[in-house]
Chains A and B, each alone.
Chain A
Amino acid sequence: TQLLEQSPQFLSIQEGENLTVYCNSSSVFSSLQWYRQEPGEGPVLLVTVVTGGEVKKLKRLTFQFGDARKDSSLHITAAQPGDTGLYLCAAHRTGANNLFFGTGTRLTVIP
């Protein structure tokens, strides 16, 4: 059983469109992170959210942590080809020693 489920698994959109990807779990987390990974590279941290209901913006990216701290969303406005990549959510459960990674959403933005 996967601890963190991401949806959609694959997403292909035109440049300029908006999109939202989701990260869901039945577990409560003390913090959640979003990473972007480009082919052949390691994941790079985009944001960390800690408080239930927290919203963080990073240019055209908006991240939200669910009120119950079980889920999160990433919204991209006016997607650009440079946004193409694998988006991974990762969460830290209180008392756990490690970070659990989601299944990933592979985004392709077509020029």
Chain B
Amino acid sequence: AQSVSQHNHHVILSEAASLELGCNYSYGGTVNLFWYVQYPGQHLQLLLKYFSGDPLVKGIKGFEAEFIKSKFSFNLRKPSVQWSDTAEYFCAVTPGKTGANNLFFGTGTRLTVIP
């Protein structure tokens, strides 16, 4: 069965620090990859997605992620975090060519940014 691992459960950073959140998946075939963010009290929002093409994907709010097929990874990065980035971040995968159907989510990483 497909699984998505996010090894960092809670990350605490000071403002302006760089961020990298890990995401690994276990599926050998074609995958579509997503990062979602959930701000306190709000619904899930899409940060960025990878379907095909350039493995370095740029999303909203200065976030980017790199798909490394050989490592089954899709890590999220931001060069300089802000207090407003405090949120829960979820990596998600859909197998095959199903677009955004059948999303499998990781357990999430809570990011706390200290002013």
Asked if A and B bind, the verdict is no
